[in-house]
Amino acid sequence: MRLRLENQGRITLPEEVTSALGVSSGDEISLEPCDGGFLITRHVVPVPSSRTQVVVSSPVDQPETGGLKEAVARKNLQTSMEAIRGVGPKLSELLARRGVRNVEDALYLLPHRYEDRRQVQDISRLRPGLTEVFSGRVLSAGMTATKGGRRFFEAVVADDTGSVTLKWFNSNPTFMKRVWRVDRVGVFTGEAAQFGYQREVHHPDAEWLEPGKGVADVLAADPVNFGRIVPVYPLTEGLSQKVMRRVMKEVVDGFLSNVRELIPGNILQPLNLPGLRDSLRDVHLPPPESLLDDLNSGKTPAHRALAFDEFFYWELGLALKRRGVTLEEGIAFQVTHRYTKQLARLLPFELTQAQRRVLSEIKTDMMSPHPMHRLVQGDVGCGKTLVALMAALVAVENGYQVAIMAPTEILAEQHWLVIHRWCAELGVVSVLITAGLKGRAKSEALAQVADGRADIVIGTHAVIQEKIGFARLGLGIIDEQHRFGVLQRGILRKKGTNPDILVMTATPIPRTLAMTLFGDLSLSVIDELPPGRTPVETKVFFESRRAQVYGIINEEVSKGHQAYVIYPLVEETEKSDLKAASQMAEHLERDVFPDLRIGLLHGRMSPEEKESVMGSFKARELDILVSTTVIEVGIDVPNATVMVIEHAERFGLSQLHQLRGRVGRGSARSRCILLTPGRLSEDGERRLRVMESTSDGFRIAEADLEIRGPGDFLGTRQSGMPDFRVANILRDASILEQARQSAFDLLESDPELSASEHVSLKEELLRRWGQRLELAATG
């Protein structure tokens, strides 16, 4: 295809190009070099003269019209907000604060609720709790004050059916008196509330009637804000809903046609989901037949389709990643049983059926010529650490090294304390590497890893830092995965030549999260606890019953059992009213249990000091162990039958569940007492009641996710959780399942997404998630 440049910067475009671009004679366009051709952009508004000059030195080959149309559409969606009619530099800056810098950002900034403004309501029929439109005449207006002396502006407005009081608590009195004049008639919008016999609306919007005009005239003059269900957008200071709605309507009307329908219709139609373009229009400009409740709960077909769109691309990326891994060449390990059988003989107990099953799944993966990518889930106390050690020993039997990565120094130390004892008996060398390791000890540890003397390397994410080199890494084990993102997994893999990866979670992850975060991993579940465990009775006690709690500890110790007392902090600070472990250990020893043996354990102690204290507790040389949360994982003392958690309301659900898992490990009746001052937030109370009602880790994880939401549940910064703009994994769990199934089915039929109808889909996938999921390598 050729373009002909005529004099005075005019260009002659072939007819198929003008129709593809939607341009006509006299439109202003600009040309930019693009993929061996030129990208042509039509300007919606007049552009600065510096951009209207078109210079072409010779006729140019153009891409085919279909590709050109897509390139133009992509370019148009990146149009700056300043190019939108009515958006100047100041408004553009306010929109940028809300994350809206271009047209695509605007289309995906969805309303967070909707208001029904389809009809004007009589004042007598205003319903408390609903935002409604009403009209009336101002009967009185002026400053007044509460009994406490707080001043506010108040107006009374009436129609033929009744009156309503309007109030503003932060307003400019001079401005309000000038605007709110007696006998002035207006149309008002706000949420009604009932206080005794008085109906009130606080901070309503107002549109004033001009002389000779009626209410219908006001509504007809502003169809963006009246006569329909209107969107209510998240704002920033200085930005009003009226301005936001006007801007959003400009964007939808002017640019929606550039949104490309890339997910095949044969995927969307069976699920009764509309296309992307229709969905975006309907969430910003809801059709008249829309149901307000469905809009506000995000359950309209349009909301569901947008959630599906986001989930589909993410799951497609995970499916491609998984497929890429299965095609890579890995290490085909041989199971020689040299160390694993020896370890099984050393254990004072039998492995459970669930442990054996999961170990068999892991061994099958390790024997395959492709890299293992497996997630092991299980409840507290199900024996994941032992399964991980068995897998590690398979790698060591084959002359490979193993890296075990934990999210915190404390957890890394816990693993090392458990694992190095078994390794020492087997003649396997294990080293601990954390950020706290210094000087000669650190140099020696790094040297052992680099020259291959260290078989099993345990540490924090410091293990995956650049300066640590492995001689022959064959297996990476990542503990407490939902504190690690996808990228950390990738970095660990690069430490060896496609090593196997085994991921373990210390507490169960709800199914929706597992699909979102670990869709590229195979799943194993250890769904059985070792025999002899007893259910733990859990009760909430308030501060007023502290003496009774101490009585329970005395009673258990008198039976020959032991107790844990857990505190949130090591030492009290001036700012904190939390009871701290060090001071309370002294208090308990001196004032409460003078005849009992009390030990102290906290995170500031060296690994050797911790091991000494835990050894004393296990050998029954201590009656009570006062500790911070360092005992969260890895301590197994069957004789401990009672745990008291101070300030239980300050702990998260999964942490409380982890802590509780330290008792109930023997056959005696065990108790967990959640001690709290009594001043509980709503969420705090919900957490403690969940702990009282169940000991099922999967149910607790679901409740934790509901209370905290995905971001907090995972810890947003390192979670690996994708930043969905529309989708919500709690609300849209069923849509996530559908999207996952559809994505994996599509790859079954077109493994490389190389079919002509899927090429654009693949480009969009790489644009959205390619970097995050490191997809370039997987095809």
pLDDT digits (tens, 9 = 90+) for 568-608: 876 555 445 556 888 888 999 999 999 999 999 887 788 77
User: How confident is the model over 193-238, as pLDDT tens digits?
Assistant: 988 888 899 999 888 888 878 888 878 888 888 888 999 999 888 8
User: What distance in Å separates the CA atoms of residue 685 and residue 699, rounded to the nearest whole number?
Assistant: 17
Q: Find tokens 């996710």 and name the residue.
A: 705
Confidence of residue 615 (pLDDT cuts 50, 70, 90): confident
666: left (phi over 0), alpha (psi -120 to 50) or beta: beta
Which H/E stretch holds residue 417? helix 409-426
* Backbone angles phi and psi of 451, in degrees to 5: -95, 0
User: What distance in Å separates the CA atoms of residue 74 and residue 258, rounded to the nearest whole number?
Assistant: 7
Confidence of residue 24 (pLDDT cuts 50, 70, 90): low
Q: What is the mean pLDDT of the chain?
A: 83
Alpha-carbon torsion (434, 437, 442, 445), positive or negative? negative
Q: What is the DSSP letter of 470?
A: -
* Residue 684 exposed, middle or buried by CB count within 10 Å (0-12, 13-18, 19+): middle
Name residue 159's amino acid.
D
Give pLDDT, residue 59: 33
Which of 42-51, 479-488, 618-627 reaches the highest mean pLDDT?
Answer: 618-627
* Res. 722: pLDDT tops 70: yes
Confidence of residue 451 (pLDDT cuts 50, 70, 90): very high
User: What distance in Å separates the CA atoms of residue 332 and residue 474, rounded to the nearest whole number?
Assistant: 10
Which H/E stretch holds residue 550? helix 546-558
For the chain, the 3-state helix, strand and coil shares in percent, each to the nearest 5, are 45, 20, 40
Residue with the larger pLDDT of the pair 52 and 361? 361
Confidence of residue 58 (pLDDT cuts 50, 70, 90): very low
The reported pTM is 0.68
User: What distance in Å separates the CA atoms of residue 536 and residue 556, rounded to the nearest whole number?
Assistant: 14
Average pLDDT over residues 733-739: 91
Confidence of residue 66 (pLDDT cuts 50, 70, 90): low
User: What distance in Å separates the CA atoms of residue 721 and residue 711, rounded to the nearest whole number?
Assistant: 7
* Res. 46: pLDDT tops 60: no
Task: Give the CA-trace dihedral at 617, 620, 621, 625, to 10 degrees.
Answer: 40
Q: How is 236-293 classified by DSSP, letter by letter?
A: -TT--HHHHHHHHHHHHHHHGGG----S-HHHHGGGT---HHHHHHHHHS--TT--HH
User: How confident is the model over 299-348, as pLDDT tens digits?
Assistant: 999 999 999 999 999 999 888 888 876 667 889 999 999 999 999 999 88
Average pLDDT over residues 272-282: 95
The maximal CA–CA distance of the chain, rounded, in angstroms, is 104
User: What distance in Å separates the CA atoms of residue 492 and residue 767, rounded to the nearest whole number?
Assistant: 25
Residue with the larger pLDDT of the pair 247 and 571? 247
Question: In the numeric block, which tokens belong to residue 272?
Answer: 């009764």
Give pLDDT, residue 134: 93
User: What distance in Å separates the CA atoms of residue 505 and residue 184, rounded to the nearest whole number?
Assistant: 65
* Res. 628: pLDDT tops 90: no
User: What distance in Å separates the CA atoms of residue 580 and residue 627, rounded to the nearest whole number?
Assistant: 9
User: What distance in Å separates the CA atoms of residue 304 and residue 307, rounded to the nearest whole number?
Assistant: 5
